Structure 1
Amino acid sequence: MSTSKEYDAMTEEERTAFDAAARKKEAEEQAALPYVWRQTLVDLDVSVQVPKGTRSKDLVVDIKKKSLTVGLKGQEPIIKGALFKDIKVDDSTWTLDNQQEINIHLEKYKGTEWWKCVIEGHPEIDTTKINPENSKLSDLDGETRGMVEKMMFDQRQKAAGKPTSDDLKKAEALKRFQAQHPELDFSQAKMG
């Protein structure tokens, strides 16, 4: 892997070739894994193929905060190791679909980051190249939605040269204080 200085010194053509080679190598490494995975900022889904006709009682699926074990009873595990980051065990699940595919849903403990891999030591992906799907504000929980809407409002206000929500709050608080204390002279006060 080249350093960011070396990368910055490359021509556009060299960067394109370097990125293409890196993506090809990454795709080959991921394809060689005994599972397929995808992620969002808040969760991660892992699919593992097992022999057709497999039943739940034939499986060992052990989901812990810091580790994951998946396999067939009496055989070497298909997946076994420390997770890249912690998960919320109570919000993580697994299912056996069509008696041939184990689907594991892992809820990230910190739901605001991309994982480089599922299991420590497994081939990593370049998280800087992830293009997340566009999400709608309605997909977000109330608190997160409110925070994003406030940020969007402040960004629009700044771009228009207008006061941000914090500036408006301060001005409103000052106005209330002045109304409660008309005896004070604010004509020489400097705000900033």
Structure 2
Amino acid sequence: MSTSADDYDKLTKEERVARDKADREREAQEQAALPYRWKQQLEEVDIVVPVPAGTRGKDLNVVLGRKKLSVGLKGKEPIMSGELCQEIKVEESTWTLEDRKEVHIHLEKINKQQWWANVLTHHPKIDTTKIEPENSKLSDLDGETRGMVEKMMFDNQQKQMGKPTSDELKKMEAIKKFQAAHPELDFSQAKIS
């Protein structure tokens, strides 16, 4: 970006929209000039590297390292080569040759909670704060995370209807059980919230 975050905060809404649009156009041009296309999700990065039509697997020289990537034809300058911006799980990362004209590379991120600003450190960066992830389905989540999200959704629905949240319902249930277990106590003047 050409200015700091403080300068951005001082812009009007219209100026921010114009700045964001200009930044997206600049990023798109920079990314289009790369010798590959790439996309990512939090867990992985997928790269497509065009190669001459008719290329065979044995013609390729592909190196996947923990922090290194190189793709090219044997005996020629690599199409792309350099240090990855983040580390990958080499044993879970793969490459394939598709239709003898594209190398498809799948990289498994080690840090699955971080967006990559670029693939190779010397290539132009994208603004990761502007990434809009695809919507995931509850069924995609692990059990613990899914339970947490479902609880948050339930609590949000309850609040919107003016009803008690799951935590408030648990407290009310605990108080009812306590009152039932201790009928000798007078709760008529108790303030329970």
Gaps of 5+ in 2: none
CA distance in 1, matches of 2:119, 2:57: 23
In structure 2, the partner of 1:146 is 147
In structure 2, the partner of 1:53 is 54
- Cα RMSD (Å): 2.9
Tell me how many residue pairs correspond in the alignment.
191
Q: Tell whether 2:136 aligns with 1:135.
A: yes
Tell me the TM-score normalised to structure 2 length: 0.80
CA distance in 1, matches of 2:143, 2:71: 35
CA distance in 2, matches of 1:26, 1:13: 20
In structure 2, the partner of 1:156 is 157
Tell me the TM-score normalised to structure 1 length: 0.81
| Distance change (3 Å), C-alpha of 1:111 and 1:186 | farther
Shift of 1:131: 2.1
Q: Tell whether 2:81 aligns with 1:80.
A: yes
| Distance change (3 Å), C-alpha of 1:99 and 1:127 | same
> Which range moves more in the overlay, 45-54 or 12-21?
12-21
Shift of 1:98: 0.7
Matching of residues 30-179 of structure 1 within 5 Å: 30-160=31-161, 162-166=163-167, 178=178
CA distance in 2, matches of 1:165, 1:69: 52
Shift of 1:38: 0.7
| Matched letter for residue 70 of structure 1 | V
| Matched letter for residue 127 of structure 2 | D
Identity %: 59
Shift of 1:14: 2.2
| Matched letter for residue 52 of structure 1 | A
| Matched letter for residue 99 of structure 1 | R
Q: Tell whether 2:6 aligns with 1:2.
A: no
